[in-house]
């Protein structure tokens, strides 16, 4: 995995995701539906593409609200920024991984995208069929 862009190339997509942890120290994960353009049927973090004129943090807030109905008040903590290979050979995605905590409960989550959005204990999350990017991001604590 790459931490810096490949010289002479530009990212295929710029993506902001959120590692949202509840009071029970469970991580919110999204199960991507079969129609997802990337990693269908796999588990990942809520988030998505950064729109023109939007900062990565603004995108993270927007995507979290769109996909879960949840708002995080205040600033998010940038956990990791770097690049990972994209789904097509020769392309990569630039990721901004933010961390935040919430008092929200499972019943507060409104599924806005995917098959499911579930707060999951981290040790259980690592046993799921994770997207490659989610697996890398969740493994950052082990490095």
Condensed to tens digits (0 to 9), the pLDDT of residues 88-126 reads 777 889 999 999 999 999 999 999 999 999 999 999 999
1-56 tens-digit pLDDT: 445 555 555 567 899 999 999 999 999 999 999 988 788 899 999 999 999 999 99
Q: How far is CA 134 from its chain centroid?
A: 7
Distance of alpha carbon 23 from alpha carbon 30, whole angstroms: 18
Helix (H, G, I), strand (E, B) or coil at 32: coil
pTM above 0.85, yes or no: yes
Please give the sequence-ordered ranges of beta strands (E in DSSP) within the chain, or none if there are none: 13-21, 26-31, 43-44, 47-49, 77-85, 92-101, 116-121
């Amino acid at each position: 995995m790459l931490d810096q862009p490949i010289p002479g190339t530009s990212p295929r997509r710029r993506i902001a995701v959120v590692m949202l942890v509840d009071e029970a120290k469970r991580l919110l994960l999204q199960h991507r539906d079969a129609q997802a353009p990337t990693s269908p049927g796999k588990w990942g973090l809520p988030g998505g593409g950064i729109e023109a004129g939007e900062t990565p943090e603004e995108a993270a807030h927007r995507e979290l609200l769109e996909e879960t109905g949840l708002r995080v008040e205040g600033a998010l903590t940038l956990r990791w920024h770097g690049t990972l290979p994209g789904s097509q050979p020769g392309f990569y995605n630039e990721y901004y991984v933010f961390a935040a905590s919430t008092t929200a409960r499972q019943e507060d989550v409104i599924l806005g995208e995917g098959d499911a959005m579930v707060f999951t204990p981290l040790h259980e999350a690592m046993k799921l069929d994770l997207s490659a990017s989610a697996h890398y991001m969740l493994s950052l604590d082990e490095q």
